[in-house]
Structure 1
């Protein structure tokens, strides 16, 4: 497929974080963009304000007439989350429109540029946005398609400056393993942060996850580079030059790591030397490791060590990734998107290291019935790092209930000194009766919609 004859682009599921980034790319590059999503969100409202026509009813008649009448000039991009019996999906398929998954189109766009792809079952959003910020801060002409809203730019999409030769533009892509989407990418440089078992509703077992990551790294250009977290077994499957990184070991690593003034500070050791005095605004041991990987990729494409330091020191993070909601001398409220046991463990471990003298109250909303079923014991172990745990009901997302699967599978094995299981409507009362000193909300569902209310309640206590 080429874009040469396309004038109109229609999105099924335009409000998704990855879909909206693609929609923005097409809009700023002169295409007319319209789309459907099932719910109104701040992001869809922003897209409408930017000039996109969006509707929220499953209704063929609301697809713009000139899109429907110009089949050859209309590209339809859909997310795998849209069910195959969706009325608009069925209509557009039966009428012979060109339909492409988001990942396919992203692969097409990225192939025109020099691509840095960041993959991993966790860490990829923060790491990819770190890379993008280092490049942008250093004045490198780059585009970025990210899986979260960056705090530095308040967007999930960075547009490159016009260039006669697009191969000179660097494209930073968050390479998503869900639905094997990252197999549309053939990057020049890749980072793989983790290959833990996840999305077993798609893959079935961990071996299939590992096979998919192996296929991804096999697609790195032969003259390219793979930055792989130490301990991952991917080196034999790629034609690229392989470098290992981690918090303390590998060709790229952190040294002299310490916490000063609630900031993680360290030196970045790399084969050519040491970048001293990096002080992250974004907390977390796992984010130091992400910073090592991001710095490594930036050095690989020619960014100077000084510019890497400046980029990392000014990186503010991503919405819902260790995001401070309230921070005073007496009260701290942090929100995080963690939805895998390893992510929950990394977040809570870092939180306890930052505030060793405060009891942590963690509110966790499990995401997906299948993930809860597959990792119930691991979630319980990770959550037990917190002093007090409030466990909400499962957020189903795209799934139907599974008999015998509920948040209780996690709750019964949590070892924290205090724990509660409740619905969202009961949460306020529990917090009122048990005021926290350090509050954390955790999860990938709709728990973020509760943050304004929780912030007010916590701030007023």
Structure 2
């Protein structure tokens, strides 16, 4: 497929974080870009400012006339879109070139030197750190989150080197052809797709076989490759970790060199692991350790990954995308590390009925470790309800008496009634919008006092 012959690109689900990065890429390359999404968002607003035409009603009549020329139009869709989607079915029935998001990402990057970041946790932060490092060599990076340094999920460089988030959902990462790759973790997830954890592991093995040059893996994973770890023997070892002036300082031993006093702003050992994976990939590629060190010191993070919405002496509000028990535990460890003597309230919105059902006991154990718990209803995303699977079921399994159900209407009041000074809001659904409403309500009294 010759992308140079494509004039128009139409995205179905254009507001998705992975889809919008590709839409930005085509817009930057002077293609006509348009698309559909279910609801307006900050992402769709930002795309519209780039002259991307977006509509929010699934009707064939809403497709711009110029995009109805099938010889000049490529259609890209996300697997999260319903099979009954009218526009998608119109394009399929009329023999347009229609690709999944993962397929077009594979097409864009197959002619580049590709660095792929895979894993059930840590993909977005690791690929964003790596993209920040590789910006020095003009790599183009497609990210699964908004990198704070760029306020974008696309770091636009040249077409010779690419950094991609290799997503295991729907086996998407098997469409990629990475030269260098890492695997951060292989915990069970997406069992609605895979059925059993063993099938998920098999897909990671298949991904590892597609890596042409070097594979880097977190130590302990059952896949051969260069290893990385904290305070353990590994090909890339971070050690001498300490917190100074609110940031991590650590040393790294590579297979051939040692570099001291790396500074890194993101809290939590899991983020040091993410930084170490990115360092290893960039080092294998050939970026100097001194330049990697400079990039790590200036990396500001990813939106909705331990993002501070309010940070004062009296109140802290933290936003994080964590939606799997392992991720919740990582946030808990980071917040305890930063605020060891404070009470912590967690507000959690479960994501998907199937994931809640598959990991109900693990979710309950992870949430029980906070001082107070507020539970929102399950965010369904692409799923229909499952009988008996709801937030009340999860609440009853949490072994902590300071717990209750809440909703969007009561949320601010419930947080204000809490004894905790530290509040973390977790989840992959529309809790990312709710937290801005909470922030605004807590900032209002301060604004009025001025």
Note if contact 2:378-2:390 (Cα within 8 Å) is conserved in structure 1. yes
Deviation at 1:435, TM superposition (A): 4.3
Deviation at 1:456, TM superposition (A): 3.5
1:225 equivalent to 2:214? Answer yes
Deviation at 1:248, TM superposition (A): 2.3
Query: What is the TM-score when the length of structure 2 is the normalising length?
Result: 0.96
User: Structure 1 regions of 5+ residues with no counterpart?
Assistant: 236-241
Structure 1 residues 247-256 or 390-399, which shifts more? 247-256
- Aligned positions of 1:233-272 closer than 5 A: 233-235=222-224, 242-249=225-232, 250-272=234-256
User: 1:353 aligns to what SS in structure 2?
Assistant: helix
Match of 2:168 in 1: 177
Match of 1:393 in 2: 377
User: Structure 2 regions of 5+ residues with no counterpart?
Assistant: none
Deviation at 1:329, TM superposition (A): 2.1
C-alpha separation between the residues in 2 aligned to 1:272 and 1:202?
Answer: 41
1:246-298 Cα offsets, whole Å, 9 max, x none, are 22221112111112223222112211222211221111110001111110111
C-alpha separation between the residues in 2 aligned to 1:341 and 1:91?
Answer: 40
Note if contact 1:118-1:128 (Cα within 8 Å) is conserved in structure 2. yes
Match of 1:195 in 2: 186
1:9-39 Cα offsets, whole Å, 9 max, x none, are 1111111111111111111112111111111
Note if contact 2:342-2:420 (Cα within 8 Å) is conserved in structure 1. no
Match of 2:155 in 1: 158
- Aligned positions of 1:20-31 closer than 5 A: 20-31=20-31
C-alpha separation between the residues in 1 aligned to 2:417 and 2:373?
Answer: 14
User: 1:117 aligns to what SS in structure 2?
Assistant: strand
1:300-320 Cα offsets, whole Å, 9 max, x none, are 111111111111111001000
**Alignment equivalent of 2:410, drawn from 405, 421, 426:** 426
Structure 1 residues 356-365 or 435-444, which shifts more? 435-444
**Alignment equivalent of 1:329, drawn from 313, 318, 323:** 313
C-alpha separation between the residues in 2 aligned to 1:268 and 1:458?
Answer: 41
User: 1:149 aligns to what SS in structure 2?
Assistant: strand
- Aligned positions of 1:317-356 closer than 5 A: 317-356=301-340
Deviation at 1:4, TM superposition (A): 3.7
Deviation at 1:425, TM superposition (A): 1.8
C-alpha separation between the residues in 1 aligned to 2:253 and 2:23?
Answer: 39
C-alpha separation between the residues in 1 aligned to 2:396 and 2:92?
Answer: 46
Deviation at 1:417, TM superposition (A): 5.0
C-alpha separation between the residues in 1 aligned to 2:399 and 2:57?
Answer: 45
User: 1:147 aligns to what SS in structure 2?
Assistant: strand
Match of 1:238 in 2: none
Note if contact 2:60-2:86 (Cα within 8 Å) is conserved in structure 1. yes
Match of 1:57 in 2: 57
Deviation at 1:83, TM superposition (A): 1.0
Match of 1:414 in 2: 398
Deviation at 1:406, TM superposition (A): 0.6
RMSD (Å), alpha carbons: 1.3
User: 1:265 aligns to what SS in structure 2?
Assistant: strand
C-alpha separation between the residues in 1 aligned to 2:330 and 2:230?
Answer: 13
Note if contact 1:387-1:417 (Cα within 8 Å) is conserved in structure 2. no
C-alpha separation between the residues in 2 aligned to 1:267 and 1:416?
Answer: 39
User: 1:452 aligns to what SS in structure 2?
Assistant: helix
Match of 1:39 in 2: 39
Match of 2:70 in 1: 71
